[in-house]
Amino acid sequence: MKGTIMCCVAMLPALEIAGCTQRTSLPPVTINSPRPIPQYPAQVAKPAPHTPLFTTPPMVAIEPPNPWKPEAELRDWKYIVIHHTASTTGSVESIHELHSKKKDKSGNSWLGIGYHFVIGNGNGMPDGAIEPTFRWREQMHGAHAGDNNFNQKGIGVCLVGNFEKKPPTEAQLVAVKKLVGILKAEYKIAGENVQGHRDVKATACPGKYFPMSEVAAAVDLPVFGATSPQKPDQPRTIELAQE
């Protein structure tokens, strides 16, 4: 029995060497170790803004059909009477001052400028500028024709300039055609009722170089630029009279 025990004890080193009790070497394990925290840059670049597929077109200012529409009750207009100032310069203010000194047949002073519209030539008013007067804004009768019927029912349009000596500027022609075209369409005025002052009274107004027939035929269409000047009406031999 003793011999048997000693034999077994003697075999233990051999068994250990042979691997019966060989230990496996494993890496150390850390229990409950926290997961590493990801590191981010201090500032993250913002993504590029989203580009819309459709963009809103820019707003375009559209001129009203009649930019001179008065707020007062409309008068019963039948005619348009064209004049010139027979001067190289002029404006609504200067004509108003001049007309304020005039008197009618009864000796009463005029209320002021007798026209409903004035169109500048660049001297006193911008070239081609159309300016309505108080008579148009308040829908009053005119004091421009020398005839009561045309004063009461005629829209007086005066262009600054002396068209006995030279034609209106191109800007004035564009402006007067635009104005006449809109007035004709808005107030149902026939082209034959667009007349020069000389057709109403014995006068040279609006001058031999004013293209009266061309202006009378104007229609209410968009104007995109100045038109080339055409031959004026033939001079008329008539007795001159004070306008």
Segments of the chain scoring below 70 in pLDDT: 1-64, 221-243
At 4 the pLDDT is 47
**Closest by Cα among 142, 160, 237 to 206:** 160
Return the DSSP state at 110. Answer: P
Residue listed under structure tokens 């081609």: 128
At 110 the pLDDT is 80
At 109 the pLDDT is 81
Q: pTM of the prediction?
A: 0.66
| CA 201 distance to own-chain centroid | 39
Order of strands across the sheet that contains 194-196:
130-132, 117-119, 154-159, 79-84, 194-196
At 54 the pLDDT is 54
At 111 the pLDDT is 87
At 121 the pLDDT is 97
Q: Report pLDDT digits (tens) over 50-79.
A: 655 555 556 555 566 789 899 899 999 999
Cα(135)–Cα(120) distance, integer angstroms: 18
